[in-house]
Structure 1
Amino acid sequence: MKKERKIKKKHYNNLSTGFINVTSHGYAFVHINEFKKDIFIPKHKTNRALEGDLVKVRFSFTKKGMKMEGEVLKIIKRKTKKFIGILKLDVQSKYGIVHNHNIHVDILIPIQKLENSHHNDKVLVQIISWPKKFKNPFGKIVKVFGSSGEYKTEISSLLEEYGISYKFSKKIENEANKIFSQKNLDMNLRRDMRDVNTFTIDPLNAKDFDDALSIRKLNFDTWEIGVHISDVSHYIKEGSLLDQEAYYRATSIYFVGEVIPMFPTILSNDLCSLQPKKDKLSFSYIFNINNQGKILNNWFGKTIIQSNKKFTYDEVQCIIDQKKGDYYEEIYTLFLFSKILIRNRLKNGGIYLEKVEVKFHLDEENNPISLHMEKNNDAHRLIEEFMLLTNRKISEFVSLNLDGAPSNKLYIYRVHDVPDFQKIFFLKKVIEPLGYFLDLKNIKISINHLLKKIKGKPEQNIIENLILRAMSKAKYSTKNIGHYGLSFIYYTHFTSPIRRYSDIIAHRLLYYYLTNKNEEYKLKTIEFYEKQSQHCSYKERLAIDAERDFLKYIQVKYIKKFIGKEFDGIITGFTDWSVYIDLLLFQTEGMVRLRDIKEDSYVLNSNNYSIIGKKKRKIYHLGDKVRVKLINVNMEKKQIILTWI
């Protein structure tokens, strides 16, 4: 007993630091690593701390010693003092109120300092003080984005929130214009491919053409195919202002109706873009292949090309389907080879995921007026397979000696780890009520079998999304672990240097190994390239999150016109207070609050995979099909509110 009292006394009134998680109700939790537990902070003891702040806390154990409760003594470091929110004005009040749904308190702005702002404006506000006697902090408006819910407002505020650069500085633009005016078509050591039939295949509205394909028949059984990638690194010298800016951005970002490019448009849409009927510099992978799809030899190097024609995916699909049209023989031959490449890849264990994308049509004011589901067709797959082949072959060329042994050369890889078992198990639980099975001992084979079975079914998109979520995130690294999803031992990103900085790194390193011209490009340390790889991975995730965030805004804005209508959906998730439903018609997620389900009082089962009614004991599982009604949308939170039918 004495020993137990000593332990409790020792742990009483302990001090620690941690990051605070404040709920919307005002109470909070601070995670303490040494105990691997969270300290509960009552609402009146948060001491003006905000979500994500680093705080110093005093805590004590409860009588049973199982739970910890405490108070915030000091804010060591604010996560941020700037917040994006919506301004609410009341003429009878002394203050304007800025509401941000990520923090639990509103920020007050003195009414006399709001002459340039209006009710319902989306604004960037900075906290300037928070006196102890006040429940709310005081702030000042730093920037006004415009009326909340408007297209331009949402884009500009999103870019601010994610720290994404929109415009290029005058210095960057001047450097780009200087490069453009020189148009340095250096023919030194370049293979001239201008007499070979060459074309690009891209989306209808594309302007930055990274890649082109060339093809010619050498004899009755052999074809020469060239995959030509824009030679961006020829124009963008390492360390230049443009290079630094491109590295900082690391990727182009594609919003619905708007592109934030990695390079100024004079380069991305003109000089570096492989436009038709113009001489263009490229970095190419050229190989001979026989009619059985066996690659006979490989060549990598700098080229000069001239695209004969700019095709859209739809035009190429039409040529494949109708078996006639411009360059029919070349296109159909490439299509047949792409089918062989797909078959070989799947035979090798690659996962064949056909993602369906939601595409919106916008009116002149950028309001969504209709949507359609865009599926990968043969034209998409044709391009995809030749890009995959190029990325693999270049990676193998650098990484392997002629005898097949590892070369130990430094390179940047696109790597993909094995999937998270818990997420795969979650996927298994979701699909079982829908009549599907997943073999956890043969995951790849089982997933490919599942993908075939769901093709064309209403639940196809949700299951494909769950498969994607179960997969590890692909990233860049100098440490090669292979690519699980593609089943490639060696893989890189080489084929999109106009819109991905990782590909520029891959270009520079490949050229170094091809020429060993030390005076033109100095090889750096592995730490240097690993840091660049991590930066590109981080920026890629940031861009994906921003794109999804904006797509959700467009989806919510579009679906608003259907309030009061009923729809079919599939249950995709549960929390203690809500059910998440994938609306099949819109391929987007909405939520039903448990308290709004009138047929019974439902609670979350302990396994988190189902809810159960307290009275009738009816159970709803993940994957169950349900009928719901759209009752409201929250534009600020980008939420779709549903109710049970």
Structure 2
Amino acid sequence: MANRRKKTQIASQKEQIHDFFKENRDRIYTLNDLYNHFDIIDQEDKLFLRLMVEDLVDEGKLKPEGRARYVINEDTKSSNLIDGKVDFVNPKFAFIRYNDQQSDIFVPAEDLQGALDGDTVRVKITGERKNGKNPEGRVVEILKRGRDEIVGKIKVYSTYALVSPDNKGFHEQVFIAKDKMNGAETDDLVIVKILTFPKGSIQATGEIIEVLGKSGDNNAEMNAIMAEFGLPVKFPEDVLRESEAISEVITNEEIAKRKDMRKTLTFTIDPADAKDFDDAISYKNLENGNFEIGVHIADVSHYLRPNTKLEEEAFRRATSVYLVDRTIPMLPEKLSNNLCSLRPNEDKLVFSAVFEVNSSAEVVGEWFGRAVIHSDRRFAYEQAQDVIEGDNETEPVYGPLLKNLNKLALILRKKRFEKGAFNFETNEVKFNLDEAGRPVGVYQKVRKDAHKLIEEFMLLANKHVAEFVYKMNLKSDHPNPDDAFTMVYRVHEPPNPTKIETFAAFANKLGFPIKTGSTASLSKSLNGLMTQIEGTPMQNVLESLAVRTMSKARYTTQNLGHFGLAFNHYSHFTSPIRRYPDVMAHRMLQHYLDGGKSLPVADFEEKCKHSSDMEKLAAEAERASIKYKQVEFMSYQSKTDIFQGVVTGVADFGIFVEIENTGCEGMVRLADLTDDFYEYDADNFRVVGRRKNKIIGFGNAVRVKIKATDLERRSMDLELVSVEGSSFAIKEGGSGKSSHRGQSSKGGRKTSGGRADGKRSSSKKRRK
């Protein structure tokens, strides 16, 4: 079935499924019915069919009737009314996004009827755009406002004030009456409650509900980013009081209920500046030559009880947020840095996954349950790396231990890649900050064996916890295993075929053939690409593009597998201090270990969606803080300095350049290139000088100067000094040219963050 996954053939198969339902309107059909009808046995093919059924549901052609049960949607009628979300990409127009498989709807600003970025609207299709790529429409109804609070900088006049929003999708200033200013002064960063939304020529009005501080102040800017994405910073007083009331004493009665592993050698490996340690590793050599390896996770669910203010706040936040200079925790400090943190030389309550592993890194035995541990030592990653690389005489206990764990981790890692896992080694952008929070240095953090060692054993625990619950279904007497023993899974679905074909065409032009016929060939091709570009200027760029081509990982009660890790079953179990889904997984696993029956799907599915949504907002806030600090760092550099860079994207209005060794990205506007009349060659990701035939394209090494930095917009304009040659030879083909000289397009559709190549600046933090 793999060789049929081309775009036209996918459409054909979806049509076959839809035809089956149209011909059999007499009853409800399950996925198993479809597997039998289409003679599908292979698990990969089953997943593919399930995805096509979900597409038909999204398109309104099928209607779900309970879990994994479907019927033809008799109510489907041809209509040109579509509901979607506003992406206000430009002051002149917006796109309405409603289905990943369909083209977004173009709506001119005057036809938005006052709709703002993030609003859910109903759109009437009015025709097709001239480019033929997008339908055009107009908003007929605003169904739901995306937000009623915005963050921005205020300018105060004698009788009123205006607030310019930080949100790039909010293009209008908000009018503030004199009695609604709440003491704000010019250049303050403020949070505005919108009182009346804009409509036609009528301006939005609001009131200041909080003054965050002066624009440019580090604390004010970071708090503004949190507020921009609707993320909380301070804990309510009743939540803090509840956390402070929790006893720190571990009673003998509690220890008696648990597996006592305090005498087993145990340690933690975390970042040097970490304050919360939510995972520890224990190690013991067994008489049979195998090894007992314990993955011990902070037992947050012991302290975080249902129907409490603490529980409500943890669910509301759903995740910790990691900005450049601070962590905004999911749990109050009493829990995150004290009660639940697995600090050395203290007894701690944990939820453990203990494995018996042989020298081939095969799990030959496992145990799950609550335990008590005593961490003997805390390692920073750098310290653990030194032990792995050093001699055993310096570390007679931990030297052999960590080296053996590293050996096992490397075997586990190799096995994952052999099964089709993706080898994306993206690096995090990190900053050296002074006491005021100003960036005085920027670098990319390189992951070494110590990082990968911990990662592999965390993956092992997450995988086996998910497998354990799933296998309980197989042992039960339920006729349909999917209907029993609900679990929160971390899933990563196969990529959208259209997106992967687009990326493959792009990579092929750079000289890297990508095979997309099956998941195995796709994985092998992408891993081969990563190997070829390792250490080159293009590594971060192409890795980022490849990652964005993939589907986004999310939480759900449906066991859809993890495509990127090549796991059939995967959950999140190892970070309950900072992720609410891990807390749910702990509770569910203990419930089943105690002999409990299956839990209600609907309750947990709703919580999964909320957790996925909050994770997305947290990631966007993290990226915004990194982008702000990158631009701030570059603003301190001399305008006469020349920087090495690489072209990371080309649009019809400019060339995007990433500064070497910093991850900082800026734009050279085509309007500033006065040495020739440049034509934008969209098909080959480049611009071409009409008279001199000078080519500037994706992968070119360039030298640039800083022209201007804009902290409010988190953007940087660059001046092109020279083009030093192309990193890769572009294969010729296609036209798609548009001419530009002395002008800059203010249009151009924002694709995946405003880039013609789909690139979005990112902290590159991986969330598996």
TM-superposed CA distance for 1:159, in Å, is: 1.7
Identity %: 37
Q: How does 1:179-578 map to 2 (within 5 A)?
A: 179-181=246-248, 183-184=250-251, 186-219=254-287, 221-324=289-392, 325=395, 327-401=398-472, 408-428=484-504, 431=507, 436-441=512-517, 442-516=521-595, 518=596, 524-564=599-639, 565-578=641-654
Bigger Cα displacement from structure 2, 597-606 vs 278-287: 597-606
Describe the shift of the 1:598–1:84 C-alpha distance in structure 2 as closer, same or farther (beyond 3 A). Answer: same
Question: What is the distance in 2 between the residues matched to 1:32 and 1:314?
Answer: 46
Describe the shift of the 1:42–1:444 C-alpha distance in structure 2 as closer, same or farther (beyond 3 A). Answer: closer
Amino acid at match of 2:697: H
- In the alignment, is residue 626 of structure 1 matched against residue 693 of structure 2? no
Question: What is the distance in 2 between the residues matched to 1:293 and 1:21?
Answer: 48
Q: Partner of 1:607: helix, strand, or coil?
A: helix
1:420-450 CA distances to partner (integer Å, 9 max, x unpaired)?
A: 3444344445555665443334210111122
Describe the shift of the 1:48–1:336 C-alpha distance in structure 2 as closer, same or farther (beyond 3 A). Answer: closer
TM-superposed CA distance for 1:23, in Å, is: 6.7
Amino acid at match of 1:231: D
Question: What is the distance in 1 between the residues matched to 2:558 and 2:218?
Answer: 42
- Is contact 1:415-1:474 (8 Å) kept? yes
Q: Partner of 1:543: helix, strand, or coil?
A: helix
- Is contact 2:355-2:365 (8 Å) kept? yes
- Is contact 2:296-2:351 (8 Å) kept? yes
Q: How does 1:3-14 map to 2 (within 5 A)?
A: none
- In the alignment, is residue 596 of structure 1 matched against residue 667 of structure 2? no
Specify which of 656, 674, 677 is matched with residue 580 of structure 1. Answer: 656
1:385-418 CA distances to partner (integer Å, 9 max, x unpaired)?
A: 1111111111111111598896842211111111
- Is contact 1:568-1:628 (8 Å) kept? yes
- Is contact 2:88-2:94 (8 Å) kept? yes
Amino acid at match of 1:116: G
Bigger Cα displacement from structure 2, 139-148 vs 347-356: 139-148
TM-superposed CA distance for 1:624, in Å, is: 3.0
Question: What is the distance in 2 between the residues matched to 1:221 and 1:207?
Answer: 36
Bigger Cα displacement from structure 2, 126-135 vs 450-459: 126-135
Question: What is the distance in 1 between the residues matched to 2:610 and 2:603?
Answer: 11
CA root-mean-square deviation: 3.4
1:348-382 CA distances to partner (integer Å, 9 max, x unpaired)?
A: 22112222111111111111111222111010011
Q: Partner of 1:440: helix, strand, or coil?
A: coil
Match of 2:241 in 1: 174
TM-superposed CA distance for 1:613, in Å, is: 3.5
- Is contact 1:246-1:262 (8 Å) kept? yes
Bigger Cα displacement from structure 2, 189-198 vs 320-329: 320-329
Amino acid at match of 2:583: I
Gap runs ≥5 in structure 1: 1-13
- Is contact 1:38-1:68 (8 Å) kept? yes
- Is contact 2:190-2:212 (8 Å) kept? yes
Q: Partner of 2:294: helix, strand, or coil?
A: strand
Question: What is the distance in 2 between the residues matched to 1:256 and 1:166?
Answer: 15
Describe the shift of the 1:30–1:172 C-alpha distance in structure 2 as closer, same or farther (beyond 3 A). Answer: closer
- The TM-score normalised by the length of structure 2 is 0.74
Describe the shift of the 1:107–1:235 C-alpha distance in structure 2 as closer, same or farther (beyond 3 A). Answer: closer
Amino acid at match of 2:528: H
Q: Partner of 1:83: helix, strand, or coil?
A: strand
TM-superposed CA distance for 1:107, in Å, is: 3.0
Match of 1:7 in 2: none
Question: What is the distance in 1 between the residues matched to 2:513 and 2:648?
Answer: 17
Question: What is the distance in 2 between the residues matched to 1:330 and 1:32?
Answer: 52
Amino acid at match of 1:554: K
Describe the shift of the 1:599–1:260 C-alpha distance in structure 2 as closer, same or farther (beyond 3 A). Answer: same
Question: What is the distance in 2 between the residues matched to 1:642 and 1:319?
Answer: 44
- Is contact 1:30-1:41 (8 Å) kept? no
- Is contact 2:290-2:356 (8 Å) kept? yes
Q: Partner of 1:400: helix, strand, or coil?
A: helix
Question: What is the distance in 2 between the residues matched to 1:603 and 1:87?
Answer: 40
Question: What is the distance in 1 between the residues matched to 2:358 and 2:143?
Answer: 67
Q: How does 1:86-235 map to 2 (within 5 A)?
A: 86-89=153-156, 95-100=160-165, 101-109=168-176, 116-128=183-195, 136-181=203-248, 183-184=250-251, 186-219=254-287, 221-235=289-303
- Is contact 1:433-1:624 (8 Å) kept? no
1:425-483 CA distances to partner (integer Å, 9 max, x unpaired)?
A: 44445555665443334210111122222222222222221221121111111111111
Describe the shift of the 1:551–1:69 C-alpha distance in structure 2 as closer, same or farther (beyond 3 A). Answer: closer
- Is contact 2:89-2:169 (8 Å) kept? no
Match of 2:55 in 1: none
TM-superposed CA distance for 1:108, in Å, is: 3.6
Describe the shift of the 1:421–1:77 C-alpha distance in structure 2 as closer, same or farther (beyond 3 A). Answer: closer
Bigger Cα displacement from structure 2, 321-330 vs 472-481: 321-330
Bigger Cα displacement from structure 2, 317-326 vs 472-481: 317-326
Q: How many residues align?
A: 622
- Is contact 1:563-1:631 (8 Å) kept? no
- Is contact 1:323-1:332 (8 Å) kept? no
1:193-237 CA distances to partner (integer Å, 9 max, x unpaired)?
A: 111111011000111111111111112622211111111112222
Describe the shift of the 1:127–1:349 C-alpha distance in structure 2 as closer, same or farther (beyond 3 A). Answer: closer
Describe the shift of the 1:111–1:234 C-alpha distance in structure 2 as closer, same or farther (beyond 3 A). Answer: closer
TM-superposed CA distance for 1:489, in Å, is: 0.7
Question: What is the distance in 2 between the residues matched to 1:570 and 1:18?
Answer: 37
Q: Partner of 1:359: helix, strand, or coil?
A: strand
TM-superposed CA distance for 1:109, in Å, is: 3.7
Gap runs ≥5 in structure 2: 1-79, 722-768
- Is contact 1:423-1:469 (8 Å) kept? no
TM-superposed CA distance for 1:307, in Å, is: 0.5
Amino acid at match of 2:675: E
Question: What is the distance in 1 between the residues matched to 2:154 and 2:244?
Answer: 41
Describe the shift of the 1:281–1:72 C-alpha distance in structure 2 as closer, same or farther (beyond 3 A). Answer: closer
Question: What is the distance in 1 between the residues matched to 2:284 and 2:124?
Answer: 75
Question: What is the distance in 1 between the residues matched to 2:81 and 2:470?
Answer: 52
TM-superposed CA distance for 1:55, in Å, is: 7.6
- Is contact 2:92-2:108 (8 Å) kept? no
- Is contact 2:148-2:193 (8 Å) kept? yes
